[in-house]
Amino acid sequence: MDTNTHWENIYKTKTANELSWYRPHLETSLSWIESAAPLRTAAIIDVGAGESTLIDDLLLRGYINITILDISETALAVTKQRLGELYKNVQWICGDVINAPLRFNTYDVWHDRAVFHFLTTDEQRKAYVGVVEKVVKPGGHVIVSTFGPEGPIRCSGLPTMRYDADQLHQEFGSRFRLIESLKEMHHTPLGTDQQFLYCLFRFVQS
């Protein structure tokens, strides 16, 4: 089964609050975005957004230049329906982050909660970082959240990677300055706990 089909099946057969990574609000992500990009005109992309409510909270706070990217058409359709007419204020891209048609030097903030840890090969991770380097503006910020060192080794039927802050920074390289990191215990809708790692990077020219 290819990646697209896998995630379409996930979103077609489960509601948002049946997904292990679901949180009613992504408080850490929202706080870091507001800190990194206080101007409400900042260009923000949420990668692998799925049915996350981060978009709702960003719109509520007045952000007006938001792009949502996900591989699942079903997930995007659910989010659009939830937003109602507000969906027209958002740019929507359906595709794999590694191959998606993203414009060069566009975003002030790149946000990813729970995509990067599904990239289990060096080739995938290097391609992902290459995309980030192309589309994030110099001086922009990159927020990546993965499973932490004590997180699960599988999720949604797929193997995952686990990281501490130094390991994740190493994956991104010296062009990304690590500003802040934290570990957060996520209590899943299924009643289990998952350790997440959050890292905030600043993208620099060299």
Q: What is the pLDDT of residue 14?
A: 84
Confidence of residue 206 (pLDDT cuts 50, 70, 90): low
Q: What is the pLDDT of residue 183?
A: 97
What is the rounded CA–CA span in Å between residue 126 and residue 75?
26
Residues ≥6 apart with Cβ < 8 Å to 171: 116, 125, 129, 163
pTM for the predicted model, two decimal places: 0.95
Q: How far is CA 75 from each of CA 66, 104, 122, 158, rounded to the nearest angstrom?
A: 17, 25, 27, 18
Give pLDDT tens digits for 75-120. 999 999 999 999 999 999 999 999 999 999 999 999 999 999 999 9
Give pLDDT tens digits for 148-203. 999 999 998 899 999 999 999 999 999 999 999 999 999 988 888 999 999 999 99
- 146 beta partners: 197
94: number of Cβ within 10 Å: 16
Which of 22-26, 75-79, 142-146, 164-168 has the lowest average pLDDT?
22-26
Residue 18, pLDDT > 80, answer: no
Residue 44, pLDDT > 80, answer: yes
Alpha-carbon 2 to chain mean position: 20
CB distance 177 to 155 below 8 Å: no
CB burial of 53-74 (b: ≥16 within 10 Å; e: otherwise) equals bbbebbbeeebebbbbbbbbbb
Q: What is the pLDDT of residue 162?
A: 98
Q: How far is CA 63 from each of CA 50, 115, 146, rounded to the nearest angstrom?
A: 19, 23, 25
CB distance 145 to 196 below 8 Å: yes
For the chain, percent of residues with pLDDT exceeding 90:
83
All domains of the chain in start order, with CATH? 3-203 (3.40.50.150)
What is the rounded CA–CA span in Å between residue 54 and residue 70?
13
